[in-house]
Amino acid sequence: MSPAKPPVSLLVAATATGPLALNVFVPSMPALPAAFGTGHATVQLTLSLYLVGVAVGQLAYGPLSDRFGRRPVLLGGMGLYVLASLACALAPSIGLLILGRIAQAMGGCAGMVIGRAVVRDAWERDEATRVLALVIAGMAVAPMVGPVLGGFLDEWAGWRAGFVLLVGFGAVVLLAGLRALPETHRDRTPFPGPMALLLAYRSLAAKPVYIGNALATSMATASFFAFLSGAPHTMVELLGRTPSEYGLWFVLLSVGYMAGNVAVTRIAHRVDPESLVWTGLAMSVAGPVALLGFLLAGMFTPATLFVPMLLMSFGNGLSFPPAMTMAIGAEPRLAGTASGLLGFLQMGFGAVAAAAVGAMKAWEPMVMVLAMVAFNLLALAAAHYARRRPHPRTA
């Protein structure tokens, strides 16, 4: 008997909580050094440690949801998200804001892990690819509207207003989950000890289809976060634009990502997933390469900064759903653990990329662009590795 299928709209909203908290806040970052009397490097921790919190949290939520079920773990994460968002809105110092951001990340990432696992529980592989593409397409609304809302709220009422918005959004998702989220995971696995968990990770890492696709999406994610770390400083301080203008230009990236996801829903049943991944990642390389060409030619404007990223975002939207579906489906019994490890790799590499680019602002935007090119080339290499057949001893 197949598990009950939850409303796709609920999965979209739950998965969007983490990205929305990330992107609503980013336009306010350039103003925080003056607000708290601190340096840019300290403010950068509100982004990089947020990503670390998302990465570490996903490692925990996967095994927890395999043991106790998807529903209670997701609802617990949403409760933590609401409380942490309220703490951020009231934070009197940069230190407490950073702590609140870490807690917010660890609550919001529950939707990212469990949303993917629920899709894998409730739908078969081909249909799961299309449903996951819909979930990710809807989730792309968060980074589309987040910077716009964050930029205007910052200019209208200050940086705390964005966190008030997140409290309300998280509360709505929590109440909707209490009402409409069924339990989709019936084949519970015992909660592993540290050694058993390491063995589960080792088993997943031994499967080229898992680790190759997981690293491909992780490298592409790192490229995006390299841009996310450098673009606000580039737009506001180097090009002299406002936070709201940054948010409006950022819409292009979300439109491209959503368009790639929608394309997957239309063609996934006709094109093999490996081809979708390769095509998408090739586009993801082409965008930063074009941006590098504009910079070398001395063409440095918001349009030459964001339009090439539209191509990269479309490529990510095209490649992520099939790559994630193949990775999480590599070991159906451990779908939650596989989803959590995949998310950890994505956010872990994203945090490293964001911190590295943020620490080298004196050389921006060139450092940002070179990092994006390098990470996307590594994503292509990982996708190539995913096609390897497993060794007979590990199959």
Quick count: other Cβ atoms within 10 Å of Cβ 160?
16
Instruction: Tell me what the pLDDT averaged over the chain comes to.
Output: 83
**With 80 as the cut, is the pLDDT of residue 190 above it?**
no
pLDDT at residue 340 greater than cutoff 90 = no
Q: Answer whether the bond into residue 365 is a cis peptide, omega within 30°.
A: yes
CA dist., res. 182 & res. 313, Å (int): 33
- The pLDDT score that the predictor gives to residue 382 is 93
CA–CA dist 22, 112 (Å, integer): 13
Report whether pLDDT(290) > 50: yes
Tokens linked to 203? 């088993």
The Cα 145–Cα 140 span in angstroms is 9
More confident residue, 57 or 148: 57
Q: Is pLDDT at 390 greater than 60 in this prediction? A: no
Cα Rg, the chain, nearest whole Å: 20
For the chain, the farthest-separated pair of C-alpha atoms sits apart, in whole angstroms, at 61
Contact between residue 116 and residue 339 where contact means Cβ atoms under 8 Å apart = yes
Among 2.60.40.290, 1.20.1250.20, 3.40.50.1000, 1.10.1070.11, what is the CATH number of 8-180+207-386? 1.20.1250.20
Amino acid 220: pLDDT:
93
The pLDDT of residue 288 is 92
Report pLDDT for 395: 39
Task: Map tokens 């490529």 to a residue.
Answer: 315
Segment 253-262 shows an average pLDDT of 84
Instruction: State the DSSP code for 3.
Output: P
Q: How many CB atoms lie within 10 A of CB 276?
A: 23
CA atoms of 350 and 345, how far apart (whole Å): 8
pLDDT tens, residue by residue, 113-163? 888 778 877 777 667 777 777 777 666 677 667 777 887 888 888 888 889
Please state, in angstroms and rounded to a whole number, the distance separating the CA atoms of residues 352 and 15: 22
CB neighbour class for 42 (10 Å; exposed up to 12, middle 13-18, buried from 19)? middle
Cα–Cα distance measured from residue 42 to residue 49, given in angstroms and rounded to the nearest whole number = 11
Q: What is the pLDDT of residue 169?
A: 93
Supply angle C-alpha 145, 251, 379, rounded to 5: 110
Angle between helix axes 208-233 and 243-267 (nearest 10 degrees) is 160
Full-model pTM: 0.71
